[in-house]
Structure 1
């Protein structure tokens, strides 16, 4: 399996922390030297290991915000 290159450009915030110290974070990340996207996933304390997550463009993040606003969240 090829290595995945990533660079966290900005930490926007974190949502929760597990008992093992992993944090669910929203970050702006450049994956494999591409345009940075918003990314929501679990990270270890050193940002070396990651869990499964989702990556969203600015347009997708705006649409998600609209959906959450529409349902009253």
Structure 2
């Protein structure tokens, strides 16, 4: 398996912390030398191991923000 290279340009914030100390983070990341994108995924404390996540372009992030702004969180039937 090819090595994945990444450069965390900026940490935007931490969404949660798991029982094993991994944190779900929102970062701006450059993967394998490509253009930087918004990335949401779990990271170990040393930022050496990564979990599954999602990477969004600026346009996708803008659309996600618009979708989330339309949601009434109190009305969602999800974990409270």
Q: TM-score interval w.r.t. the shorter chain?
A: over 0.9
Uncovered stretches (5+) of structure 1, i.e. residues with no partner = none
Residues 42-66 of structure 1, C-alpha deviation per residue, up to 9 Å, x if partnerless?
Answer: 0000000000000000110010000
- The alignment covers a number of residue pairs equal to 73
Q: TM-score, normalised by structure 2?
A: 0.88
TM-score, with length taken from structure 1 = 0.96
Q: Say which SS state the counterpart of residue 54 (structure 2) adopts.
A: strand
Of Structure 1 and Structure 2, the greater strand share is in 1
RMSD value over aligned CA atoms? 0.7
- Structure 1 segment 32-51 matched on structure 2, within 5 A: 32-51=32-51
Aligned to 1:4: 4
Shift of 1:72: 3.0
* Rg larger for: 2
